[in-house]
């Protein structure tokens, strides 16, 4: 399937929204359906990207906003070139736990970095690819904080108002791009949410297949 180009699906949301659990559930559905796929996370997914992740999340470091922004972009650039683009070119479904919207929401809306600059850097880091579908798991900051582990990493340690801005930023992105971003209420039961997300993915696949010409086969 999807011979000419794969599909890029991203999962987004504030820390503690249950995004990574949903990534695992969606991966299970993809496995059961026999669709060729890869799952990656950001920052990470390459040797250098995983090392950058350690630095970014390490509580012992205090990073400037610029350094933070550029490190996320460096990890993204590596992941895109080494993993995402080859998988898309091979016609696979790429499931990415966080991608470009995370930088807009966190460093942009949360931290105050210029949104235009982030969009420009995102284009540079990704070669201009954009997700075919983004699932935004939306949850109140108070509830998300209660779900997180006992020890907070460097990003989780940012204050309540920062995370509130991140959540509002995500919702604003969804308002600007409703055709790409589907907002899912993250407060419900996890298997039910998983079924809803799988339905969104199936709709996308069906749309893509119906748009193809016979030349694609
Ligand atoms: P997570 O992968 O466990 O969700 O953790 C990654 C953390 O990094 C999370 O707090 C969100 C943050 N982040 C950014 O601030 N900007 C980004 O561009 C990305 C990809 C993640």
Say if residue 217 is exposed, middle or buried (CB neighbours under 10 Å; 0-12, 13-18, 19+).
exposed
**Short-list 30, 170, 190, CA closest to 95:** 30
Relative to the CA of 42, which ligand 1 atom is closest? 20
- How many angstroms is it from 80 CA to the middle of ligand 1? 16
Q: Establish if 102 belongs to a structural domain.
A: yes
CA-closest residue to ligand 1 atom 8: 155
Ligand 1 atom 13, closest CA: 102
Residues 6+ apart with CB under 8 A from 35: 1, 93, 205
Segment 3-24 shows an average pLDDT of 91
Which atom of ligand 1 lies at the shortest distance from residue 56's CA? 8
Give residue 2 CA to ligand 1 midpoint distance, Å.
Answer: 29
Contact between residue 172 and residue 46 where contact means Cβ atoms under 8 Å apart: no
Is there a domain that residue 216 lies in? no
**DSSP per-residue codes, 111-159:** T---HHHHHHHHHHHHTT---SEEEEEE--HHHHHHHS-SS--TTTTS-
**What mean pLDDT is predicted for residues 145-170?**
93
Tell me how far the alpha carbon of residue 99 lies from the centroid of ligand 1, in angstroms. Answer: 9
Among 62-76, 179-193, 198-212, the range scoring the smallest mean pLDDT is 198-212
pLDDT of residue 57: 98
Residue 47 has pLDDT above 50, yes or no: yes
Using CA positions, which residue lies closest to atom 18 of ligand 1? 103
Rounded CA separation 125/120 (Å): 9
Does residue 217 register a pLDDT over 50? no
Split into its structural domains, the chain has a count of 1
How far, in Å, is the centroid of ligand 1 from the Cα of 20?
12
Residue 176 has pLDDT above 60, yes or no: yes
What is the pLDDT, as a whole number, of residue 119? 98
Give the span between the Cα atoms of 33 and 31, in whole angstroms: 5
pLDDT class of 1 with cuts at 50, 70, 90: very low
| Confidence (pLDDT) at 208 | 86
* 91 part of a folded domain: yes
122 within domain boundaries: yes
204 alpha carbon – ligand 1 mean position (Å):
26
What pLDDT score was predicted for residue 210? 85
Sheet containing strand 181-185, strands side by side: 37-41, 93-97, 7-12, 133-138, 181-185
Cβ contacts of 46-54, under 8 Å, gap ≥ 24:
46/75, 46/78, 46/79, 46/82, 46/83, 48/74, 48/75, 48/78, 49/75, 49/78, 49/79
CA of 102 to the centre of ligand 1 (A): 6
181 CA from centroid of ligand 1 (Å): 18
Proportion of the chain above pLDDT 90, given as a percent: 89
Residue ranges around ligand 1 (CB below 6 Å): 15, 41-43, 72, 98, 102-103, 106-107, 155-156
**pLDDT one-digit tens code per residue, 142-155:** 999 988 888 999 99
Q: What is the residue-wise DSSP string for 13-43?
A: -STTSSHHHHHHHHHHHHHHHT--EEEEESS
Domain that includes residue 56, residue range: 7-211
Q: Cα–Cα distance between 174 and 171 in angstroms, integer?
A: 5
* Domain-located, residue 56: yes
pLDDT-derived band of residue 4, with 50, 70 and 90 as boundaries? very low
Specify the CATH number for the domain of residue 162.
3.40.50.300
Quick: pLDDT tens for 57-111. 999 999 999 999 999 999 999 999 999 999 999 999 999 999 999 999 999 999 9
Nearest CA to ligand 1 atom 7: 155
Q: Is residue 75 part of a domain?
A: yes
Substitution site in 102, 111, 121, 166 for ligand 1 pocket (most atoms within 8 Å of beta carbon): 102
Q: Tell me, yes or no, whether 166 lies in a domain.
A: yes
Listed range (147-151, 153-157, 182-186, 202-206) with the worst mean pLDDT: 147-151
Q: Do 98 and 108 form a contact (C-beta atoms < 8 A)?
A: no
- The per-residue pLDDT for 214 is 45
Q: Is residue 16 part of a domain?
A: yes
DSSP 3-state of 49: helix
pLDDT (average), residues 34-38: 96
pLDDT exceeds 90 at position 215:
no
């Amino acid at each position: 399937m999807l011979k000419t180009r794969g599909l890029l699906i991203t999962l987004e949301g504030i820390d503690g929204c249950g995004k990574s659990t949903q990534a695992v559930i969606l991966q299970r559905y993809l496995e059961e359906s026999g669709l060729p796929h890869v799952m990656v996370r950001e920052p990470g997914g390459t040797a250098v990207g995983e090392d950058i992740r350690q630095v970014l999340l390490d509580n012992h470091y205090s990073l400037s906003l610029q350094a933070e922004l550029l490190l996320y972009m460096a990890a993204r650039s590596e992941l895109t070139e080494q993993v995402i683009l080859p998988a898309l070119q091979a016609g696979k479904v790429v499931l990415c736990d966080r991608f470009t919207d995370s930088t807009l929401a966190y460093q942009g809306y949360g931290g105050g970095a210029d949104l235009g600059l982030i969009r420009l850097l995102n284009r540079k880091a990704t070669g201009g690819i954009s997700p075919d579908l983004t699932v935004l798991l939306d949850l109140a900051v108070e509830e998300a904080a209660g779900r997180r582990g006992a020890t907070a990493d460097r990003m989780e340690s940012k204050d309540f108002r920062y995370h509130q801005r991140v959540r509002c930023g995500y919702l604003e992105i969804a308002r600007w791009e409703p055709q790409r971003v589907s907002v899912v209420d993250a407060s419900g039961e996890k298997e039910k949410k998983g079924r809803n997300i799988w339905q969104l993915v199936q709709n996308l696949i069906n749309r893509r297949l119906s748009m193809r010409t016979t030349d694609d086969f």
